[in-house]
Amino acid sequence: MSEPDLLEALRIDNGEREGRGDRRWLWPLVLVLVLALVGIGGYRALFGQALTVDTIVVETRGVGPATLLDATGYVVARRQATVSSKISGKLAEVLIEEGERVAAGDVLARLDDADAKAQVALRQARVAAARAQLGQIEAQLEQARRAERRQEGLDARRLTSEEALDLARTQVRTLEAQLAASRSQVQVAEAELAVAQVDYDNTIVRAPFAGVVVAKAAQPGEIVSPVSAGGGFTRTGIGTIVDMASLEIEVDVNEAFIDRVAPGQPVVATLDAYPDWRIPAEVIAIIPTAERAKATIRVRIAILVEDPRLVPEMGVRVSFLEAPQAEGKRQANGVLVPATAVRARDGASVVYVVDGERARERSVTPGAELGEQRLIEAGLTPGERIVRTPPADLTDGARIAPRPGA
């Protein structure tokens, strides 16, 4: 085949070119696909699976003080003692049980006092002997003084010798010296008796202050000692007493927010065990040292009520409140919501209000941040329910399912 024939065979007819280039039939197909996708999205929006969210009812700002800072801590006792004996000995009886209230001076336990009683009896006998000897010397001294007076009378009438008079006087001086020594012996014996009595009293363990027994650490028959001795066979404590009137709260505040705390500041505390009980409290002091590892500063908080539900080492959450407003000074109105409920959308602040099974996006005017809450000055009314922490894929009108209990 010649070269012109080959070129003719490869040439594309204009009619075929126009047929291949006409793809207008594709546009109806694209339109169908778009409508299908929109329909699927609309179906999911109307009937798809709902997002599970936490919700909360909006609280009124009111006229009360706002929360400046939230923190967590523990209830602690400023007055607490593990009671032990002052001497080593074997426990004869233990008279306390956990949960029992005791008054100052109540007997908590007794040690075996046989040795102490014997020492007291011995010292009492020595005191009695010293006093008897003292009485004997006193009688002898009185007789010697009468003899001295007689000799002085006889000497005045020249009826006795100088030697007899000197002898009578010497006898008096000797007995006076013996009397002084005997009185000292009585004092020593009485002091020894007092020591023995103290040792006997030390066998009785008493409550140092009024409180509640929170731990019983020993049983009758065990050896107790004020110092650790004898390994695990010697107890160093009999029980632990807590003065419930000395309970307070200790919290660690991040040093970046410590400027929001001041002594005397009002506080509301909530126990983890009783979340609906709001306990009035106030700041006692800010401990003037920081913990380097956690970058926190410890704050002491006084509990302004006494209640049997308060016990040491309970977990507690506290809210530091604003100081009372000065008379005539107005306080900003609005509602309080969790700070996590506010989201930024297209340069505006929005929250998601619960409307039946739907979440409705609503623009709001946010105010100051008060701890973990945010003041909303406009856009919400008290009593409305909102999404506490909107998920990233939550949109206006999306179906939601409030979490049970939320």
239: left (phi over 0), alpha (psi -120 to 50) or beta: beta
Site of tokens 């007899």:
164
CB 298 within 8 A of CB 250: yes
- What CA–CA distance (Å, rounded) separates 385 from 404? 14
Residue 399: pLDDT above 90?
no
List the one residue out of 262, 317, 253 whose CA is nearest residue 75.
Answer: 317
Residue 2: pLDDT above 50?
no
In the prediction, which pLDDT does 379 show? 82
- What CA–CA distance (Å, rounded) separates 120 from 192? 9
Task: Say if 51-65+330-402 and 67-77+244-321 have the same CATH topology.
Answer: no
Q: Does domain 67-77+244-321 bear CATH number 2.30.31.10?
A: no
Report residue 24's pLDDT band, with 50, 70 and 90 as the boundaries: low
| Each residue's pLDDT tens digit, 141-194 | 999 999 999 988 888 888 888 898 899 999 999 999 999 999 999 999 999 999
Question: Which uninterrupted H or E stretch holds 214?
Answer: strand 211-216
In the prediction, which pLDDT does 370 show? 65
- What CA–CA distance (Å, rounded) separates 322 from 319? 10
Range 290-296 average pLDDT: 92
Question: Which uninterrupted H or E stretch holds 291?
Answer: strand 278-291
Site of tokens 């739907």:
358
In the prediction, which pLDDT does 6 show? 45
Considering the domain delimited by 80-109+206-242, tell me its CATH architecture: Beta Barrel (2.40)
Count of CA atoms in the C-beta half-sphere (13 A) of 164: 13
In the prediction, which pLDDT does 3 show? 47
Q: CB-based contacts of 172: which residues, under 8 Å, 6+ apart?
A: 141, 144, 145, 148
Least confident piece of the model among 2-16, 158-172, 317-331: 2-16
CB 58 within 8 A of CB 382: yes
Cα four-point dihedral sign 398, 402, 403, 404: negative
Residue boundaries of the structural domains of the chain: 3-47, 51-65+330-402, 67-77+244-321, 80-109+206-242, 114-201
- What CA–CA distance (Å, rounded) separates 214 from 231? 24
Residue 23: pLDDT above 80?
no
| Each residue's pLDDT tens digit, 211-263 | 999 999 999 999 888 876 555 567 888 999 999 999 999 999 999 999 989 99
Q: CB-based contacts of 30: which residues, under 8 Å, 6+ apart?
A: none
- What CA–CA distance (Å, rounded) separates 61 from 67? 10
| Each residue's pLDDT tens digit, 36-74 | 555 545 544 445 567 788 888 877 655 456 678 889 999
User: Under CATH, which number does the domain 51-65+330-402 receive?
Assistant: 2.40.420.20
| Each residue's pLDDT tens digit, 348-382 | 888 898 888 888 888 888 877 766 777 788 888 88
